[in-house]
C-alpha cells in the first residue's frame, strides 16, 4: 500500500492484518527514496499529517511501515510481525510520535530516524 495524500488516518483493530508477503514494505508513506538513475536521494516533505492506529502488518521483505518525507505522523497500538528489517522506519520524516507498538521476528526493530 502506498500513501501520497495529506491528512490520512488508517484505523483498524489488532485483528485487521496486512500480509505484505512479497512486498518491500507493508505500507509506504511519502516520497520515493531513489532518483531516476537509482541513486539514493533525501526526499522533501511529501506527506503531511499521517496516522496509523491498531493494525497488524506482517511478512514485508523490508519494513512493516516505511515513512519517507513525512511531516507530523503518529504510529500507535500496532503490531509488526516477521518483517525483514524494521517494524517502523521513518526516514527523513519529522514531528512524529511512535507509541504502544509491538515488533517481533525478522529484524524486529522499531527504528527512529531523525532528519
pLDDT digits (tens, 9 = 90+) for 7-29: 999 999 868 999 999 999 999 99
Residue 53 has pLDDT above 70, yes or no: yes
Residue 115 has pLDDT above 50, yes or no: no
- Residue-wise pLDDT for 65-112, tens only, equals 999 999 999 999 999 999 999 999 998 899 999 999 999 987 655 555
Contacts made by residues 106-110, CB under 8 angstroms, sequence distance 24+: 106/81, 106/82, 107/83, 109/85, 110/80, 110/86
Span 42-54, average pLDDT? 91
Binned at pLDDT 50, 70 and 90, residue 43 comes out as: confident
The CA distances from residue 65 to 11, 97, 109, in Å, are 14, 14, 11
Amino acid at each position: 500500500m502506498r500513501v501520497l495524500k495529506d491528512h490520512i488516518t488508517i484505523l483498524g483493530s489488532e485483528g485487521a492484518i496486512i500480509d505484505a508477503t512479497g512486498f518491500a514494505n507493508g505500507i509506504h508513506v511519502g516520497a520515493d527514496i531513489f532518483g531516476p538513475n537509482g541513486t539514493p536521494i533525501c526526499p522533501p516533505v511529501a506527506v503531511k499529517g499521517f496516522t496509523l492506529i491498531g493494525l497488524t502488518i506482517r511478512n514485508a521483505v523490508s519494513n512493516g511501515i516505511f515513512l519517507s518525507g513525512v511531516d507530523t505522523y503518529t504510529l500507535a497500538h500496532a503490531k509488526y510481525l516477521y518483517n525483514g528489517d524494521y517494524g517502523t522506519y521513518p526516514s527523513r520524516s519529522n514531528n512524529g510520535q511512535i507509541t504502544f507498538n509491538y515488533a517481533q521476528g525478522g529484524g524486529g526493530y522499531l527504528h527512529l530516524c531523525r532528519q
